[in-house]
Amino acid sequence: MFRTIFTLSALAAGLLSSSAMAAPTEDIAPRSARAANAGGVLVAQNGDFDVYYDARGNRVIVDAETGQVLAIQPPQTRFDRRALRRERLRNLGPVEDDRYYLDDPEDMARLRRRQLEEEGLIVVPPVDQYDPYSDNSVEAFPEAPLDDGSYGNDYPEAPQPIKPRTVKRQPLDEASIEPVEPTAPGDQAALPPKIGGKTVADPSLSLGARQDVAALQVLLDRAGASPGVVDGRFGSNVDKALAAYNEITGSNLRSTDVVGIQAALEQSGGDAFASYSITPEDAAGPYVASVPEDYGQKAQLDRLSYTSVTEALAERFHMDENYLKALNPEANFNRPGTIIKVANFGRLVAAPVARIIADKGKKQVRAYDASGKLIAAYPATIGSADTPSPTGTHAVSRVALDPNYTYNPNINFKQGENNKILTIPPGPNGPVGSVWIALDKPTYGIHGTPDPSKIGKTESHGCVRLTNWDARELAKIVSPGVTVEFID
């Protein structure tokens, strides 16, 4: 009995001594493996080991130092990280310190899935035994979509995915105008009036216009680089005019250079806008009530004049009519003595032109002097696919101001049901505007337009169309014999 007790005491003392000696070693060596009693693999040495997979999908853990096989884990006994993550989200909810990186597609997919789970649009399936190194059987892949575009669902309590909603876009009016408030309950809000079947916006509004952009347009116009109508809006006509301005002046002005634009305005004539007092002649006209679209009806009028004081003043000051009204919302344009704000476009180009280029691609007409220097540039509408403009080089044959227009369906285009030759009276609202610069090719020329805001944005019947004021400026500096070259 005494011997047995002595033996057990000695064995216990030896175990305690071994534990005490192993303690410093445990502090030095990194503990990189899980404890054996936690279901992991206890790795000797310094924790370095290699992981391999055999043909059956088993995970084989090998000591990197000795090459000894430490453990073999079948697929069913390994940790399923995806299942553990789903279990954590189900039991513990979102983890506060979970981070997602926008440039990591996997993180973004997890974030999107988490958001859908929180919104209840998808339900996390039960933890399965999914293994990325399994035999990839067909059960591991989602079902194909059904005929109605939805997917099957094995979980009856899970809601079906929401079908995408089809958005139908309604046609827009010409401008976004808030309706007039009803005067009595139940009354329908007043709508913009209709003229000729088209909804007409309140002309006193010019949505999206900016005065700083209009100031840039005035500066360009002063230098001979016409932006078309001054309307306070950026667009292709302004871009082309700015490039021409830099070529004409030798500068490098940018549309965003506010200080440079203001300095150039001061050097070229002062403020971009000026005050103008409406005269009795302005209010008197003559004006026409409206301009018909049909050429047969046009031919019955005495003159295709302006239709209002605002239209006449807008063309005089190179402005869009709606923008002129927007700058002067309280003005009575029909009363002489009314002071309004207008564009101060400065002097017209006076240098003689020796050569003209009609650029179809840029939709621009450029005028050069005898030395080859650019002196003027205008936005233009040049021909169309159905009625293309001329090609090659031609010459100016004559210039006519305020001309009438001869309509001949046998030679040119056909307008409406008009099959006879018609003589359309002169006027700024005529088919060729207030100017006709004829070319040596019959029926073709450079002319004005009744719709200056559409220059460079629509098509013509083969001729070169400018605003009335640009065509008039060009007519005064061009002469018969000047070459006109059409380029693509």
Q: Which of the following is catalytic: 318, 394, 461, 463?
A: 463
Residue 228 and residue 379 in contact, taking contact as beta carbons nearer than 8 Å: yes
Q: What Cα–Cα distance (Å) separates residue 99 from each residue in 107, 114, 117, 123, 124?
A: 8, 12, 17, 22, 20
Pairing state between β 422-424 and 59-63: unpaired
For 197-252, give the DSSP string: TEE---TT--TT--HHHHHHHHHHHHTTB--SSB-S--SHHHHHHHHHHHHHH---
Report the C-alpha gap between 396 and 435 in whole angstroms. Answer: 13
Residue 305 and residue 286 in contact, taking contact as beta carbons nearer than 8 Å: yes
Prior bond to 286 cis, omega within 30?
A: yes
How far does CA 19 lie from the centroid of its chain? 75
The question of whether 447 is a catalytic residue gets the answer: yes
Helices (H), 63-210: 81-92, 105-119
The question of whether 394 is a catalytic residue gets the answer: no
Tally the C-alpha atoms within 13 A of residue 257's C-alpha that lie toward its C-beta: 11
Residue 216 and residue 228 in contact, taking contact as beta carbons nearer than 8 Å: no
For 358-399, give the DSSP string: EETTTTEEEEE-TTS-EEEEEE-EE--SSSPPP-EEEEEEEE
Q: Six-digit token pair at 105?
A: 């597609």
- Residue type for 220, please? L
Q: Which of the following is catalytic: 318, 394, 447, 461?
A: 447
Residue 446 and residue 333 in contact, taking contact as beta carbons nearer than 8 Å: no
Residues identified as active-site: 447, 463
